[in-house]
Chains A and B, each alone.
Chain A
């Protein structure tokens, strides 16, 4: 069970809390994932150990002999962040049992990108969730393999052009859909699953804290735009992260003990449908979708809208909003 919220994370509180993911790392200007990490580390509640899958965030934050991390941190490989977290949690448990742990409680967070989660890391993640380790898994989703040069992943959305699903003359970018990873995690019947966007920092922090407080595995899917991979101006990261929610392409919700509920930022779209924005507004800001605005591929825009509507309606049902 997840404890009811007793913290609000005011701007002041957050500003006063020391940075645990510090500046000086080498992420690109406007990097969404770096914002996600910094914000989430502000939600920690005490001693914390972090493990990180291979990917942009690992690479930019730890180039030896430098580090951006003020917490104990380990990276071992790409596909095993959840397995690492299992090992850390097991070690803490055993040392506590043997009275060798100094701290009363140590939290464990695993950070991984969409590649490290939807694709190569899903086995380790599913296994760790099934075993019920007490840890928070954060998927920072920039919707492609950015570290290796913008290749498609199971998290890349329909129609997006990547270096392995290029928008060509015949094929309009990725032909498959984005895998509903957070729903897959809900199906594991773990205590806490939520989606969040870096545009809504307070919601993100609260969800991260809930995930930490949940006893057992928690999964947080964070939408984190990448200016390099999505091809947009570095100043637009937060705007895009907000538009994704406002267009319902990335709705915000949480599932406590598998009970879905819409978060306020998405709930408002049902209460005041006029607030909902056209997905084209979101798509046209990013050159990864540029090819869809050519007459030949315009039907893909319709398809994308259909996918959004279908998934949105499904979600509303799960949230008992219909």
Chain B
């Protein structure tokens, strides 16, 4: 299979996600609609109604039940998918931790939307950033093509026997979810082959026998028990150890996929743009990277050594890659599309500065909270941020570490 055999289709981000799910031989989809994720659920319902998939679709009465159904279906041995956003993801909060704690490799698409109140249906990352500690792998995509590609990769990543953790694929509300784009899609068989069958690792049951890790009447096991101070801590450490293996699994999967399609997103964890000799750089996740690349090109044309680091994965945090990419940059601006109220900047800023603290070069790192509730992030604001960085380099001083960009 080569890139040439791919077909180009006009799809928005949500449709691209639904199409990838359709091709990935998913057993159970349980979901509840919420703008701007609805199209995913609607398209998939059509695939079911038209007999294009053998999936069991459970249209639940809430997101809480949707994810609960997914965890149990996954525990029964099914490949499982759901999708949500904003209030829906917040309603799932309790079960997000249950999913990872039960080591259920559920895949979920998030159409990133602002949290209430006030109610707002547009893009920001408050919803998924609030879940960053829930032990889900988080992939943020730049465009609909990457949304399609990442969903397919996500099944293979989540179900990898060394990982067995759920994966969230995050796409920006409306900018991606509802915007038509040319998306190259693989033939069904190629995707089927790539995702393979769900693998079930063997675990030791109460009688000391090796049995498949699933609810199987032939080999009964107990899942989700009461786990107190004598074992809980070890189980949580195992979960962290699995997360630490995720980076390698993600890059391997990304490499295998790009062999098939010819498409790459950096090394799968981070996507660097013109960083090699850069003096100043911005860091962001999601679709803003597209606009930023244009700005970088314009600045480069004027001789400014500007670059961009897009984090494709926020969980696990690609610590080594961030250090390598940014160590030699003099001044860095993080662009956070969510705020940590009362904290010192947004969540990406927290982690990035924290990672760079260990580098001997100690670059300046500042934060710009932008785009809350879907506020546009035009080129001129991004240019302004690079201008601030140039000033920081020149004056060797920072006026304000944390600012809001594009706010009145």
Binding site for B on A (CB under 8 A): 47-49, 51, 58-59, 62-67, 69-77, 79-80, 82-88, 90-95, 97-98, 100, 102-103, 106, 123-124, 126-128, 130-131
Contacts and interface: CB of A to CB of B under 8 A. Distances in A.
Given A85-B72, A91-B72, A98-B54, A126 B61 contact: yes
Name which of B60, B61, B219 has the most chain A CB atoms within 10 A of its CB. B61
Contacts of A62: 222, 224-226
29 contacts: A47-B218, A48-B217, A65-B231, A70-B220, A72-B217, A72-B219, A72-B221, A72-B222, A73-B220, A73-B222, A73-B223, A74-B215, A76-B72, A76-B95, A76-B98, A83-B68, A83-B69, A83-B72, A84-B72, A87-B70, A88-B72, A90-B30, A91-B27, A91-B73, A95-B78, A123-B62, A127-B65, A130-B61, A131-B58
A74 B231 CA distance: 18
Contacts of B216: 72, 102
B228 interface: yes
Interface string B96-108: 0010001000000
A199 B80 CA distance: 42
Given A88-B72, A95-B27, A83 B220 contact: no
A160 B134 CA distance: 40
Interface in B61-79: 61-62, 64-66, 68-78
Interface string B216-246: 1111111111111001000000000000000
Contact of B71 (A66, A84, A92, A126): A84
- Interface size classification for chain B: 35 or more
Interface string B23-38: 0000110100000000
Contacts of A66: 206
Contact of B215 (A49, A63, A64, A93): A49
B34 to A, nearest CB: 16
A76 B62 contact: no
Nearest to B30: A87
Q: Which of A58, A59, A102, A131 has the most CB of B within 10 A?
A: A131
Given A76-B102, A91-B56, A95-B27, 17 more contacts: A65-B231, A73-B221, A73-B222, A74-B223, A76-B72, A77-B94, A86-B72, A87-B72, A87-B76, A91-B28, A91-B72, A91-B77, A92-B76, A102-B216, A124-B68, A127-B60, A131-B59
Contacts of B55: 94
B163 to A, nearest CB: 20
B64 A88 contact: no
B68 A77 contact: yes
B225 A64 contact: yes
A123 B77 contact: no
Given A84-B68, A90-B30, A94-B27, A127 B62 contact: yes
Interface in B140-186: none
Contacts of B66: 83
A106 B30 CA distance: 20
Contacts of B60: 83, 86, 127, 131
Given A74-B223, A94-B54, A80 B95 contact: yes
Contact of A124 (B64, B70, B214): B64
Interface of B: 27-28, 30, 54-56, 58-62, 64-66, 68-78, 80, 94-95, 98, 102, 206, 214-228, 231
A90 B226 contact: no
A151 B269 CA distance: 49
Contacts of B214: 72
B225 A67 contact: yes
B28 A94 contact: yes
A72 B228 CA distance: 21
B61 A124 contact: yes
A82 B60 CA distance: 11
B64 A79 contact: yes
Contact of B224 (A75, A85, A86): A75
A219 B27 CA distance: 27
A87 B28 contact: yes
A69 B225 CA distance: 11
B56 A94 contact: yes
Contacts of A123: 61-62, 65
Contacts of A102: 216, 218
A80 B68 contact: yes
B212 to A, nearest CB: 11
A61 B60 CA distance: 29
Nearest to B53: A94
Contacts of B219: 72
**Which of A80, A83, A130: most chain B CB closer than 10 A?**
A83
A74 B72 contact: yes
A88 B56 contact: no
B68 A76 contact: yes
Contacts of B62: 123-124, 127
A282 B266 CA distance: 73
B217 A84 contact: no
A162 to B, nearest CB: 23
B228 A64 contact: yes
